[in-house]
Structure 1
Amino acid sequence: MKYHFIVNPKSRSGMGEMIWTMIEPELKKRRVDYQRYLTEKRRHAEKIAAGITADEQEHMIVVLGGDGTVNEVINGIRIPEKVTLGYIPIGSSNDFARGLNIPKDPMEALNIILDPRNIIHMDLGVLTAAGRQRRFAVSAGIGFDAAVCHEVCVSRWKVLLNRIGLGKLSYAVVALDRLKKDRPVRMTVILPGGMEQIFEKTYFAAFMNLPYEGGGFKFCPEAVPSDGLMDVVIVHGLPVMKILCLLPLAFWGKHVGFRGVTLLKCRKVQIKTSIPFPLHTDGEPGFPRREIAAALMQSRLNVITG
């Protein structure tokens, strides 16, 4: 089968282009049938994926980039179950790779793609807000975590830390700053069957398909990407000082069980907040909303894992 490589050359401050120049000679050496596509601007990877899959036939797509590039590709794919996705992680957070045990080393990741031993049928989520839908592979969120994702996208910290190979720490740096600025809200969570739960002083809710988001925060340690369920984490009713203590524990998933950290499993959920809250899908920011819905799609995507 022909390999379609979608490459974000600007990923991780230009690392994407450098990695591709290292990988392409290996493809030629192995006589791999491939085609390369370079992204030029935001949402370009989505258009490329849509073009590749427009014939609704089976395809092998390989992404070189970060979680944002993966998000664009999955939103462009026409029929997910007809696509097998490979991933070579180059981004700052790489939560997609971390959650699927895909090696950080580009050549190791390439070897797994060219000689796949493990392919899972991965769930895909979809976030609906104001009549618009956006798919997600890693996670989506409303509130504090989305505000962090938005600020990281424009933060000088991300550029500086990327230069020394510590880009994922930009999420932690921005998170500490956001805690001083953000105010919690009243959140109503509506589960399948119409059951409602109300959470006072809520900082955020995250809808997780994989265990990690935000550069390695293990918010939902038991999330499995092929079990047909979303793991939802809601952080509420906590003073800022306690959240500051819990955030480091979340890197190892040790925040679970503390009062104010609620975990749910469901296939779909509706959220209403007392004021508009920022959104994100796989770290890509969206406009603040008061009402959203998150659910798993019926279609699944074939993904090569480590």
Structure 2
Amino acid sequence: MYTFIINPNARSGLGGRVWEQLEPKLKESSVPYRAFFTKYQRHATAMTRKLTSDGQEHTIIVLGGDGTINEVIGGIKNLSLVTVGYIPIGSSNDFARAFALPRDPQKALAAILSPASYSYMNVGLLFYKNRTKRFAVSAGLGFDAAICHQAVISRMKVILNRLGLGKLTYAAIAFHRLIHLRPASMQVTLDGKKTLSFSKVFFTVAMNHPYEGGGFRFCPEADPCDGLLNVMVISGISRIKALLLLPFAFKGWHTRFHGVYTYTCKEVQIEGDIALPVHTDGEPVFLQHSIRACLEPEKLRVITG
């Protein structure tokens, strides 16, 4: 039995239209399935938590964007009992990029119904204040999170989605936010042992996948299945240089330049001298001075290939 969790409002209503095209295929092939539709923020988390509370194995297919994937993974009770498939129709689709999943919904469904392979993915865990939140792709503090916060309320995202240019949303907002951002001082502690101090930091991000923000390859060496987090810090450079680095980041070439620092670890603590925006998979978290990120002990099986 396949359980579909569908965000009908993903990409300005594209989610609902895509499901209308895919459901007849399931019926024609007599595929056993059930479908649930999200109606509000974090609804997918609540539904997934209820579905997976029975202690049984489940195959959950997510139709939406990275935010919907984030919500579903956040609600899974026992990661080792769940297999996830993904039909990507969001603005960024960084989760799909990492696994080279088909972007065409029909091909994505075909790959899910006849899996060629599976990957066993690490799941990130973010700690802030007295709360925890899972992430699949990344969690960051500073500039990248500010972009995510702005994207949630931006009319630009809606307009670009309607024009079929949704992937440019984050790049466009990035140029705008860089002008107004106040760089901060940060301390980054890797695996509780090595503490690094940085000044004039634009942002620090813990990456489980190589891509963030609609295709920025911030940590080119990141592997979602290797049991490690990749950390990137952008520090000590001018706004102009930061702007010039953004196009290089689509290819991962930004790591060759001074002011870009990358590390690998199992756990990272990030502390800023001022409260800064935080995100998990592009989903905003209230301003924080300090966050800690690590990986869940269990892995999640993902349909790939």
TM-score band w.r.t. shorter chain: over 0.9
Deviation at 1:299, TM superposition (A): 1.2
* Local SS of the residue matching 1:37: strand
Secondary structure at the aligned position of 1:175 is classed as helix
**Which amino acid in the other structure matches residue 38 of structure 1?**
F
Counterpart residue number, 1:115? 114
Q: Is the 8 A contact 2:144 2:203 kept in 1?
A: yes
Deviation of the 1:172 alpha carbon = 0.7
Does 1:184 pair with 2:202? no
2:205 maps to: 206
Q: Which residue of 1 aligns with 2:173?
A: 174
* TM-aligned CA deviation for residue 52 of structure 1: 1.1
The equivalences for 1:96-115 within 5 A come to 96-115=95-114
Q: CA deviation at 1:194?
A: 2.4
Aligned to 1:164: 163
| Secondary structure at 2:166 match in 1 | coil
Question: What is the alpha-carbon distance in structure 1 between the residues aligned to residue 100 and residue 272 of structure 2?
Answer: 35
Where do 1:14-29 residues align within 5 Å? Answer: 14-29=13-28
Q: Deviations over 1:1-59 (max 9, x none)?
A: x0000000000000000000100000011111100001111010011111110111110
1:115-154 maps to which residues of 2 (within 5 A)?
Answer: 115-154=114-153
Report the CA distance between 1:81 and its aligned residue: 1.0
Match of residue 74 from structure 2: 75
* Deviation of 1:193 (Å): 4.0
- Output one character per residue of 1:180-214: Cα deviation in whole Å (capped at 9) or x when no partner: 10011110011114221001110101111111000
Measured against aligned partners, the alpha-carbon deviations of 1:271-297 in whole angstroms (never above 9, x if no partner) come to 111001110000000011111101011
> 1:257 deviation in Å?
2.0
User: Do the aligned partners of 2:192 and 2:268 also contact (CA within 8 Å) in 1?
Assistant: no
In 2, Cα distance between equivalents of 1:223 and 1:209? 6
Aligned to 1:197: 196
Q: Tell me how far apart the structure 1 counterparts of residues 290 and 16 of structure 2 sit (CA, whole Å).
A: 39
Cα distance in 1 between the residues matched to 2:205 and 2:26? 38
Alpha carbon RMSD of aligned pairs, Å? 0.7
4+ residue stretches of structure 1 with deviation over 4 A?
none
Alignment TM-score, normalising by the size of structure 1: 0.99
State yes or no: 1:248 paired with 2:247. Answer: yes
State the partner residue of 2:281. Answer: 282
Match of 2:59 in 1: 60
Q: Secondary structure at the match of 2:44?
A: helix
Preserved CA contact (<8 Å) 2:95 2:209:
yes
Query: What code does the residue aligned with 2:151 have?
Result: V
> Matches of 2:290 and 2:125 in 1, distance apart?
14
CA apart distance, 1:220: 0.6
Q: Distance in 2 between matches of 1:143 and 1:193?
A: 21
Distance 1:231 1:182 in 2: 24
Q: Shift of the alpha carbon at 1:118?
A: 1.2
Query: Across the two proteins, how many residue pairs are aligned to each other?
Result: 305
Distance 2:139 2:69 in 1: 14
Task: Check conservation: 2:192, 2:267, Cα contact below 8 A.
Answer: no
The alpha-carbon deviation at position 237 of structure 1 amounts to: 0.3
| Counterpart residue identity of residue 288, structure 1 | L
- Equivalent position of 2:214 in the other structure: 215
SS at match of 2:296: strand
Q: Give unmatched runs, 5+ long, in structure 2.
A: none
Deviations 1:43-86 (A, max 9, x none): 10011111110111110000000000000000000001110000
3-state SS of paired residue (1:272): strand
TM-score by length of 2: 0.99
SS of the residue 1:162 aligns to: helix
What amino acid is aligned across from residue 222 of structure 2 in structure 1? A
- Measured after TM superposition, the shift of residue 128 of structure 1 is 0.5
Q: Percent identity?
A: 52
Q: Which runs of 5 or more residues in structure 1 are unaligned?
A: none
Give me the whole-angstrom Cα distance separating, in 2, the residues matched to 1:117 and 1:205: 36
Letter in 2 for 1:17: G
| Correspondence 1:225 to 2:224 | yes
